[in-house]
Amino acid sequence: MYSDPSNNWPKPYYAVIFTSKRTPADEGYGIMADKMEALASTQEGFLGIESARSEIGITVSYWNSLEAIKSWKNNADHMMAQRMGKKVWYEWYHLRISKVEREYFHYMDVPIDEINLQKG
């Protein structure tokens, strides 16, 4: 899953960086992950999400304010998923919150004029 790198979100915005190592237990992890992504996308202030997993997983969600992040953290369904993560799904995790003030992106083999037209 990924967010379009040419998103044009107003700056500054915030990135919640969740890095983790899974346990071997599945016990509904994939279903819950899909549910949390869908739920997060409906929350006020949510901008997008990117995720990759190999041995270590990294999920970055983007928000328009620290208040929106706090509201998501305290969402009842999300809190239940957090408890399951601590008990069953994660050997460890590390969460960071960063303020994004500037960004750059690159598209391979796409003319710069086409990118500018897409952005309007």
Measure Cα distances from 19 to 77, 82, 100 in Å: 20, 14, 18
Give the HSE-up count for residue 11: Cα atoms under 13 Å, Cβ half-sphere. 8
Pairing of strands 13-22, 46-53: unpaired
pLDDT of 108 reads: 73
How confident is the prediction along the chain (120 residues), in pLDDT tens digits per residue? Answer: 555 656 788 999 999 999 999 999 989 999 999 999 999 999 999 999 999 999 999 999 999 999 999 999 999 999 999 999 999 999 999 999 999 998 887 777 665 555 555 554
CA-closest candidate to residue 20, choices 52, 53, 57, 60: 57
pTM value?
Answer: 0.83
pLDDT of 55 reads: 92
Residue 38 is encoded by which pair of tokens?
A: 């869908």
**Contact by Cβ (8 Å): 115, 63:** no
Q: Which domains occur in the chain, in start order? A: 13-119 (3.30.70.100)
* Total count of residues recorded for the chain: 120
Write phi, then psi, for 38 (nearest 5 degrees): -65, -40
pLDDT of 8 reads: 81
